[in-house]
Amino acid sequence: MSILEQARKYSDYTAKNLSEMIQVPGFSCTEKDRIKLLKKMCRQAGMEDIHTDGLGSLLGRVGKGKKVLVFDAHIDTVGVGDPSQWKTPPHSGIVRDGLVLGRGSSDQLGGAASMITAARILKEAAYAGDYTIWFAFTVIEEDCDGLCWKYLIEEEGFKLDFAVSTEPTSCRLYRGHRGRMEIQIDIKGVSCHGSAPERGESAAYKAARAALALESLNAQLKSDDDGFLGKGTIVVSQIKVQGPSQCAVPDQAMLYCDRRLTWGEDDKLAIGQVEKALEAAGVDKFSVKMPEYAQAAYTGKLYKQELYFPTWKIPADHPLVLSGIDAYSGLFGLAPVVDKWTFSTNCVAICGRHKIPCIGFGPGDESQAHAPNEINRIDDLEKAAAFYAALPYSLERG
């Protein structure tokens, strides 16, 4: 039986596993129960060396070759938002009409379900090729993408040759995405009684000028040289202003910004651009900084990092991309669409920080991420499971 036939045979198995995952909520830093469920599924699929790391990410292995290939799925999800916008309960995991419904079905528990099926297919085929294949079910991605892999690589010494992110790609092959960072701007004013505003310096007006300056900066940002990733962006996501009272000129303001980084841009460049834009707009008494993430994992482990997530891409002719094309073509009889994500993934750490080649291939649509009434297609789950099982063989042929 071919790999694709195997994936189709296990269609109900994959959908059932995804449904069960959805029914056990797991948000960033509270994934313990979902990890416990996944550990049981990994064991049933035949994985070996099943264990959790210090942050609580779960890993399981198939094969024991000299090279290391990792499939990664973050298994935390965002919250449900406004429950009234959901047509079915967000954690129902309903399976019907060729779909699996619920929070995380695309972002990105669908990838996790397909990984488990791929492991089962490889295990039943007695895979003994060139690769040790690790399946990683990682935590805290929604709060701080890449933190889990920064920890695995830098603190636990995990070594890998290639990685596949199973974030949703509509079963297209992705080879990069823009990086991102978070920027906080603090502005000082001078308070005075609101009846005589000329006596003070309004932090609110400075904040308004700063916001308009950043809007202009966004329009000036450029694309990468080959146009693959597109232009960088900056948006003011929060403005907070305060003072001694409602009848006073405010003396403090804070602007929070989301900055997307194209190829060739980094944190130092981005902060310098913000400082220059504010100075040119006549804003004074300000500071610009990159905040830090510092939340304890469900294990109790506290691992901090700055909120900077480097840009990454690999060439279209990279052996990992070509092997992905070979695997897809061999399964489905046509070449895949090769593209990029709009959002950010754990690859910011694996490839962005540590230069380990990554590709992306996942079931479901990027547009489903963080949206109400999230769904995934069972057909996508089958395709992804087959692709993951086929990729090690394509890498060996390459």
- Which residues are tagged catalytic? 76, 141
* Assigned token pair, 241: 């202003």
CA 289 to chain centre: 23
47 burial level (CB within 10 Å; 0-12, 13-18, 19+)? buried
Cα–Cα distance between 79 and 81 in angstroms, integer?
Answer: 6
What is the four-CA torsion angle of 398, 395, 174, 90, rounded to 10 degrees?
160
Q: Which residues contact 372 (CB under 8 A, 6 or more apart)?
A: 80, 81, 82, 85, 86, 90
Cα–Cα distance between 17 and 381 in angstroms, integer?
Answer: 11
131 burial level (CB within 10 Å; 0-12, 13-18, 19+)? buried
Helix (H, G, I), strand (E, B) or coil at 245: coil
Q: What's the Cα-to-Cα distance from 187 to each of 114, 244, 247, 281, 388, rounded to whole Å?
A: 48, 15, 20, 13, 50
